[in-house]
Structures are given as structure tokens and as C-alpha cells.
Amino acid sequence: MSTEILVAAPPQVETDPRLMPRLVSGEEVRLSEIIAAMSVALDITQGQPAGHCVRNCMIGMRLAQELRLPAEERAALFYALLLKDLGCSSNAAKMAYLFGADEHAVKRDGKLIDWTKAAHKLKYAWQQCAPGGTSLDKLLRMAALFRSGPRGERQLVQVRCERGAEIARDLRFPPATSAAIRALDEHWNGRGHPAGLRGTEIPLLARILCLSQTVEVFFSNHGLAAALDVARDRSGTWFDPDLVAALLAIRGDEPFWGSLKRADLLTAVQTWEPGDRVEMADEACLDRVANAFARVVDAKSPWTYQHSTRVAEIAVGMAQQFDCGPELQCDIRRAGLLHDLGKLGVSSLILDKPGKPTEDEFAQIRKHPDYSQRIIEQVHAFRQLADVASAHHERLDGRGYHRRLDDQQMQWVSRVLAVADVCEALSAHRPYRQGLPWGKIREMMRRDLGTAFDPECFAALERWIDRGEFVPRIEAQLQEMDRLLSELQ
């Protein structure tokens, strides 16, 4: 994603928080618009260019059209195609550790090889393990990687597929949607993961997902002819031969293949949503989506596990001290849940590094609010929410990032979020330090009142914490780290 942005004139600071407008506009918004926009977060987690999941959806729905699937199945398929990578962050830390590399590159390049063939796997491992390291570094990484064998490969896929299916279920999509995501990486010949299903044991929608995602990757990287060649080569091994036949039947549909290169993909993909199954997102649905993507973000690293949900909790607690109405509190919670969405684009090697980041690494970290803004603002009704959520690292003195807003430009809600974010981060463990007690956090943050933090917002934080409602997430972090370590053994 580009880091160049056009900054509109910042809104005026509201002096009375109780009069703040809502962060989510009252207009009706299609659920498909929200999910398609948010799927870009899954793209960057997988190291894919923005639009990968959307193009994948269009390819899969075109296959469904060719197969004449009924509307109910097409509706379940539509969301499975957009959300196939919901669980992709859950194995990010593990992959970065195993390969000693940026997991985005590992995942991106892994989509372009046939990992079931030993020669391909060996060449891929040599290229991906310890990039920039010595030959010995690479060999040691490869030895550790191959020592886990098929069981290790299966675990990497299983945690991703199970987590993705679970989140899809919590979003209340049809069971067929969850089942398709769970079986995304099963292969026709039974050599896929995680369950080794064979042939028609694999749900039809999962078979479509498996084919469409491979076609999209090769189409985007090498063109249509290369994508069709891969589908032919893997017919009967990876892919259902009948689905490959359906794909070859539409190879001459030039308007369709051309549509995959459109600039307005988010508009284009909505034309593939079954017309009689269009769902509008109500307040409860918006909450489910915010919760779901917070889980995706927080699953990326054991060090940031539950960070988004706790920031949302603190921010709402602070807002209550200002007597904000329930609707604004609800929007503040959503902003807290989604504020770190852009961290999915930052390598786990940096986020989990057992030491302070270098200047170059910190430059990568500083990009994440920009990514958050670009993803969230694609939903028209979320433009204000995007401005607030992406300003959580701004400072009153204008020395924050990514827009360098100052006290005349920072909205009140952004000030709340900035205080909540720092407080929560300091209270938790980091690779290079232990979590701090509230007394130490209070002392540190008070030094920056009026320069980094709004004094009134910090006073609201103090009042809320003094009520005894804040519980650091250190115990949850330790449990998550134990889980990750057990998988690495």
C-alpha cells in the first residue's frame, strides 16, 4: 500500500464531548461493502496486493455462475471468497519465527509454488529461510523447519483455517461459509490440509475457493494464460477436474477478465452478490464486524494479544466520565477495536523483536496508522471513524504520526484513543520489557500532559482506573505465548 496520502482540512475540535457527532454515518450500508473493504486487511496480512480477496471473489462467483449454483449457495460462497483469509494472522508469528523472515514474503511466494512437490519445497525453503543470512544460517533454519515434517505443515494450516472458520461463524454467516473456509487448503487428491479430505469429501464451496485463489494469484502475477496453465496442471491433484473444466469454459469471457483490472474493484464485486440475498448492516452487525477484525489483528502477535479489545474497553470507560451518549460510546468502541488494523501489514519479525526497533524498523511501524485509515475509509459511512482510529499516535504538540496533527486539529475522540492506547500498551508485556504497574504508567504519562496527551482525557482515565475496572492482559498474554511455544516444540 502506498504511504502517500492527501490530507483533507482537519475538522474543528469539539469543545463539548457530549455534543460530538457520531463516527459512523446514519446512512444504510450494505454488509458486502464493509466486508469487501475490510478484506484488504487480509490481503496485506498475506503479503498480497490490495484487491486480492475481491478479485478472488469475482473469479469464484463467475465459476458459480457457470455452474448454475442456486442463490443460497452463491450467497454463502460470496462471503467465503471475501473472507477466506480470516485466520491468516493466527500463524504469522510462528511463520516469521520458523523461517527467520518477514512472513508476508513467505506467504506471498508460497502461493506461487506447488508445495506438495519435494523439489519445489526445497528450493522455496532455501530462498525464504534467513534471507540475507549465511549459508549456514539458511541450513539451520531449513533443518528446524523440515524437522517438524508433515505434522508441522498441517498445524500451520489448521490453526489458520480453524480460526478463520470460527470467526466467520461468529459473524453469523451460513454454516456453508465457515465450512468452506475451514477446508480452503484441502486438495482433490487428499494431500491437502488440515484434514486430508479427498474428492467430494471436500465441500464444493471449498473446492471453488481453492481453485479461485490460485487462479487469482497467477493471473495477477503472470496473466491469464499462466493461471489457466496452472489450473490444467493441477487438475485432479489440487483441483476438482469439473471446476477446472468450468474455468476453461469461461477463458474467452474477455469482459470478465478485464473487469479484474478495474480501479473500482469494491464497486465491481458488489455486482456479484446475489441480488435477492443483499444484507444491510445494522448496529449489531457493525459490532460483530469490528469485533471480528479486532480478533484478526490481535491474533498476529502474542505480545499484542487482546490489545485492540482492551484499548476499546479503556476508551469507552474514559468516554463515560464525560457523560457521552451510548451511541457515541458505541462508535468509540469500534474505533478502538479497529485502530491497529494496519499493523497486519507490519512484519512479525519487527513486532516480536526482542529489543527496541531500529530506525528503519520504526519507520515500518509508523506506517500502520496510514494503512488503518486507508482500509477503513473505503467504507463511505466509516470516513469519520477512519480519521479517529488512525490518529491514535498523534500528539498535541504535532510530533506524532502519521499526519502530524496538533492540538488545534486533533478531535476529542482521537485524544481519548491516544491516551487509551498508550496506557494499555505500557501495562502489557513487550519483547523488550515487562508490563508496568498503574502507578508507574501514571507517573510516565503525566510528564507528557499538554505535549503528547490531553490533560482532561488523562484525568478521565485516572477516574476510571481508580474505580478499579482496569485489569491488565498480562495473564492472557502469557497463556498465548505458552500456546505458541507448545506449537513450536
Residue 259's CATH number: 1.10.3210
Task: Compute the distance between CA of residue 334 and CA of residue 21 in angstroms, rounded to an integer.
Answer: 15
Does residue 230 register a pLDDT over 70? Answer: yes
Q: What is the pLDDT of residue 146?
A: 85
Q: What is the pLDDT of residue 349?
A: 93
Range 117-132 average pLDDT: 92
Catalytic entry in 300, 343, 367, 440: 343
Q: What is the pLDDT of residue 18?
A: 61
Indicate the Cα dihedral angle 342, 433, 403, 323, nearest 10°.
90
Q: Which residues pair with 216 in a beta bridge?
A: none
Residue 10 lies in a domain: no
Residue 30 lies in a domain: no
Buried residues in 170-206 as b, exposed as e (16+ CB within 10 A)? ebebbebbbbbbbbbbbbbeeebbbbebeeeebbbbb
- The verdict on 268 and 332 lying in the same domain is no
Q: What is the pLDDT of residue 478?
A: 82
Read off the amino acid at residue 194. Answer: P
- The verdict on 70 and 179 lying in the same domain is yes
Residue 40 lies in a domain: no
Residues whose CB falls within 8 Å of the CB of residue 80, separated by 6 or more in sequence, listed in order: 168, 173, 176, 177, 180, 181, 205, 206, 209
Please report which confidence band the pLDDT of residue 431 belongs to, taking 50, 70 and 90 as the band edges: confident
Residue 33 lies in a domain: no
- The verdict on 454 and 378 lying in the same domain is yes
Buried residues in 308-345 as b, exposed as e (16+ CB within 10 A)? bbbbbbbbbbbbbbbebeeebbbbbbbbbbbbbbbbbb
pTM of the entire predicted model: 0.91
Q: Which domain holds residue 145?
A: 51-281
* Residue of higher predicted confidence among 325 and 5: 325
* Residue of higher predicted confidence among 3 and 216: 216
pLDDT averaged over every residue in the chain: 92
Please report which confidence band the pLDDT of residue 7 belongs to, taking 50, 70 and 90 as the band edges: very low
CA 318 centroid distance within chain: 27
Q: What is the pLDDT of residue 489?
A: 59
* CA neighbor of 269 nearest in space, from 34, 19, 28, 14: 34
Please report which confidence band the pLDDT of residue 147 belongs to, taking 50, 70 and 90 as the band edges: confident
Range 408-421 average pLDDT: 95
Residue 131 lies in a domain: yes
* Residue of higher predicted confidence among 9 and 98: 98
Residues whose CB falls within 8 Å of the CB of residue 62, separated by 6 or more in sequence, listed in order: 250, 253, 256, 272
Boundary (domain end) residue, out of 249, 281, 313: 281
Please report which confidence band the pLDDT of residue 13 belongs to, taking 50, 70 and 90 as the band edges: low
Indicate the Cα dihedral angle 73, 78, 83, 84, nearest 10°.
60
* CA neighbor of 420 nearest in space, from 453, 377, 466, 385: 453
* Residue of higher predicted confidence among 338 and 19: 338
- The verdict on 320 and 275 lying in the same domain is no
What is the CATH number for 423? 1.10.3210.10
402 prior amide bond cis, ω within 30: yes
Range 432-451 average pLDDT: 94
Work out the percent of the chain whose per-residue pLDDT is above 90: 79
- The verdict on 75 and 196 lying in the same domain is yes
Does residue 339 register a pLDDT over 70? Answer: yes
Q: What is the pLDDT of residue 9?
A: 39
Residues whose CB falls within 8 Å of the CB of residue 291, separated by 6 or more in sequence, listed in order: 170, 309, 337
Does residue 389 register a pLDDT over 50? Answer: yes
Residue 343 bears catalytic tag: yes
Residue 11 lies in a domain: no
Does residue 5 register a pLDDT over 50? Answer: no
- The verdict on 72 and 185 lying in the same domain is yes
- The verdict on 206 and 299 lying in the same domain is no
Q: What is the pLDDT of residue 259?
A: 97
- The verdict on 74 and 164 lying in the same domain is yes
* CA neighbor of 452 nearest in space, from 392, 386, 372, 402: 392
- The verdict on 136 and 273 lying in the same domain is yes
- The verdict on 319 and 445 lying in the same domain is yes
Read off the amino acid at residue 124. Answer: Y
- The verdict on 211 and 338 lying in the same domain is no
Boundary (domain end) residue, out of 281, 305, 336: 281
Question: Which of 155-159, 247-251, 264-268, 351-355 ranks highest by mean pLDDT?
Answer: 247-251
Task: Compute the distance between CA of residue 324 and CA of residue 400 in angstroms, rounded to an integer.
Answer: 26
Q: What is the pLDDT of residue 1?
A: 43
Residue 358 lies in a domain: yes
Q: What is the CA radius of gyration of the chain?
A: 23
- The verdict on 333 and 457 lying in the same domain is yes
Range 322-347 average pLDDT: 95
Q: What is the pLDDT of residue 448?
A: 97
Residue 1 lies in a domain: no
Task: Compute the distance between CA of residue 75 and CA of residue 32 in angstroms, rounded to an integer.
Answer: 10
Question: pLDDT tens digit string along 259-281?
Answer: 999 999 999 999 999 988 889 99
Q: What is the pLDDT of residue 474?
A: 85
Q: What is the pLDDT of residue 14?
A: 53
As for how many domains the chain has, the answer is 2
Read off the amino acid at residue 128. Answer: Q
Q: Give Cα separations from 77 to 36, 133, 161, 208, 300 (angstroms).
A: 13, 43, 16, 9, 26
Boundary (domain end) residue, out of 281, 305, 324: 281
